[in-house]
């Protein structure tokens, strides 16, 4: 990959200031204030499965990246409060530009997005003329704008199958998802070397130990996990499909190899089952996404009260990023 060059897009507006937590009246009941502000401002609260439990419980809709994109596109609420990471809130703004989109913490990024700067991505594409670029939704608006089709873990398989076999596929930025698709579909792909810092940490040794401890337990894993984890999985899929599997497949005990926030919905939907989070290799809390967990009830309250931080995109960039997202929605 050659090094860079000219900026792919003009500079974005400056990053918003950090939320001022000291401005919150400590006597407030935030679990009552948040719904009140939502009603008062005609706001919809969309949350990803990796959000903390209290945020999931206040949301109008909890979902995976694809379902959240569809909800964001369809809403006629005046404000979309997006409890997820920044690329998800940006996607909401790209698809529904007339809504104000706010998020609790603007610094809620993603290691996959960080691995793929737009200038380097642009250079990579230039080295593969004629290739189709399929890009995972976990990337910046600028990288979306430079891509042909966006995919999520829910629809990637279907979209890869739609590409004529003679076409080279460039897949960015998650190399594990790319390798999983490539192996499953027998389709060679050129992969960007990005990874998710959460899904990369799960321990194969722990899965083997847990399976021995819980005979008959079934393993559900997200395709952002490395092959060493996926080869133990009975089911591989997006967060929504992991949720469906663990709550409906015949079985009693499920080992969950994705961010453990999703277990909250599993317990709500099928409380009589056992869900065991697969631990990471090193005894840390690395199966919690540090970006997702930047969002807290306090910051959610502030973003609704103050209507910031807000996602603001230059129109040229937004329109260019919308094209491959609409392509994705058509093909899904």
Residue 65 partner contact from ligand 13P, ligand SF4, none using kind-dependent CB cut-offs of 5 to 8 Å: ligand 13P
* Nearer to ligand SF4 among residue 112 and residue 163 (C-beta): 112
Binding mask 282-301 for ligand SF4 (x = CB under 6 A): -------x-xx---------
- Residues within window 247-276 making contact with ligand SF4, judged by CB under 6 A: 259
Nearer to ligand SF4, 56 or 138 (CB): 138
Question: Residue 247 corresponds to which tokens in the numbers above?
Answer: 């709550």
What is the Cα–Cα distance from 233 to 139, expressed in whole angstroms? 26
Within 134-163, which residues bind ligand 13P (CB under 6 A)? 138, 152-153
**Interacting residues with ligand SF4 between 206 and 245 (CB under 6 A):** 224
Extract long-range pairs of 155-160: CB within 8 Å, 24+ residues apart. 155/66, 155/328, 155/331, 155/332, 156/181, 156/223, 157/181, 157/184, 157/185, 158/331, 158/332, 159/134, 159/328, 159/331, 159/332, 160/134, 160/185, 160/187, 160/189
Number of Cβ atoms within 10 Å of the Cβ of 211: 16
| Shortest separation between residue 30's beta carbon and ligand 13P, angstroms | 25
Which residues 285-324 are close enough to bind ligand 13P by CB under 6 A? none
Choosing among ligand 13P, ligand SF4, none, which partner's interface includes residue 238 (Cβ < 5 to 8 Å by kind)?
Answer: ligand 13P
- One character per residue 180-219, x = contact with ligand 13P (rule: CB under 6 A): ----------------x-----------------------
Question: Closest approach of Cβ 224 to ligand SF4, in Å?
Answer: 6
Q: Using CB under 6 A, count the residues that bind ligand SF4.
A: 13
Ordered strands of the 149-151 beta sheet: 149-151, 132-136, 169-172, 190-191
* Contact with ligand SF4 (CB under 6 A) among 47, 95, 198, 229: 198
Q: Which of 133, 195, 201, 239 binds ligand 13P (CB under 6 A)?
A: 239
Shortest Cβ 269–ligand 13P spacing (Å): 16
Is 138 a binding residue for ligand SF4 by CB under 6 A? The answer is yes
- Quick one: 163 or 286, whose CB is closer to ligand SF4? 286
Q: Which residue has the tokens 């799960």?
A: 202
Tokens of 273: 């089952």
Q: Which of 197, 276, 312, 326 binds ligand SF4 (CB under 6 A)?
A: 197
* 65 near ligand 13P (CB under 6 A): yes
Work out whether 224 is an interface residue with ligand 13P (CB under 6 A). Answer: yes
Residue 152 CB, nearest approach to ligand 13P (Å): 5
| Spatial distance between the Cα atoms of 19 and 98, rounded to a whole number of angstroms | 24
Which of 134, 141, 196, 313 binds ligand SF4 (CB under 6 A)? It is 196
Which one, 292 or 304, has the nearer CB to ligand 13P? Answer: 292
Instruction: Supply the Cα-derived Rg of the chain in whole angstroms.
Output: 20
Cα–Cα–Cα angle for 192, 70, 17, rounded to 5 degrees: 70
What is the C-alpha to C-alpha distance for residues 325 and 149, in angstroms, rounded to an integer? 6
Q: Are 146 and 324 in contact (CB under 8 A)?
A: no
What SS3 class is residue 76? coil
SS3 36: helix
Residue 214 CB-density burial (10 A; 0-12 exposed, 13-18 middle, 19+ buried): middle
What is the rounded CA–CA span in Å between residue 230 and residue 210? 15
Which residues bind to ligand SF4, rule: CB under 6 A?
A: 85, 110-112, 138, 196-198, 224, 259, 289, 291-292
Point out which residues bind ligand 13P (CB under 6 A): 64-65, 138, 152-153, 196, 222, 224, 238-239
């Amino acid at each position: 990959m050659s090094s860079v060059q000219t900026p792919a897009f003009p500079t974005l507006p400056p990053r918003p200031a950090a939320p001022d937590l000291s401005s919150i009246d400590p006597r407030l009941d935030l679990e009552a204030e948040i719904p009140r502000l939502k009603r008062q401002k005609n706001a919809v609260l969309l949350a990803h499965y990796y959000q903390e439990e209290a945020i999931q419980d206040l949301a109008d809709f909890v979902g995976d990246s694809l379902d959240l994109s569809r909800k964001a596109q369809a809403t006629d609420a005046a404000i979309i409060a997006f409890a997820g990471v920044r690329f998800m809130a940006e996607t909401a703004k790209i698809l529904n530009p007339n809504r104000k989109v706010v998020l609790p913490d603007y610094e809620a990024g993603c290691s996959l997005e960080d691995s793929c700067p737009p200038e380097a991505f642009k250079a990579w594409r230039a080295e593969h003329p004629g290739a189709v670029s399929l890009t995972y939704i976990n990337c910046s608006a600028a990288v979306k704008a430079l891509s042909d089709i966006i995919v999520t873990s829910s629809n990637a398989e279907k979209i890869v199958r739609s590409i004529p076999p003679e076409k080279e596929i460039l897949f960015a930025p998650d190399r594990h998802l790319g390798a999983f698709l490539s192996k499953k579909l027998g389709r060679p792909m050129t992969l960007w070397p990005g990874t998710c810092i959460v899904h990369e940490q799960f321990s194969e040794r722990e899965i083997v130990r847990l399976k021995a401890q819980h005979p008959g337990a079934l393993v559900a894993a997200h395709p952002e996990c490395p092959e060493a984890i996926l080869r133990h999985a009975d089911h591989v899929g997006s967060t929504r499909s992991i949720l469906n599997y663990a709550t409906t497949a015949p079985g009693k005990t499920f080992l969950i190899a994705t961010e453990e926030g999703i277990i909250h919905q599993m317990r709500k939907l099928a409380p009589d089952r056992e869900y065991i989070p697969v631990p990471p290799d090193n005894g840390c809390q690395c199966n919690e996404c540090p970006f997702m967990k930047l969002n807290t009830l306090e910051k959610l309250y502030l973003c609704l009260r103050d209507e910031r931080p807000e996602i603001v995109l230059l129109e040229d960039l937004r329109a260019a990023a919308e094209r491959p997202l609409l392509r994705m929605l058509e093909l899904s």
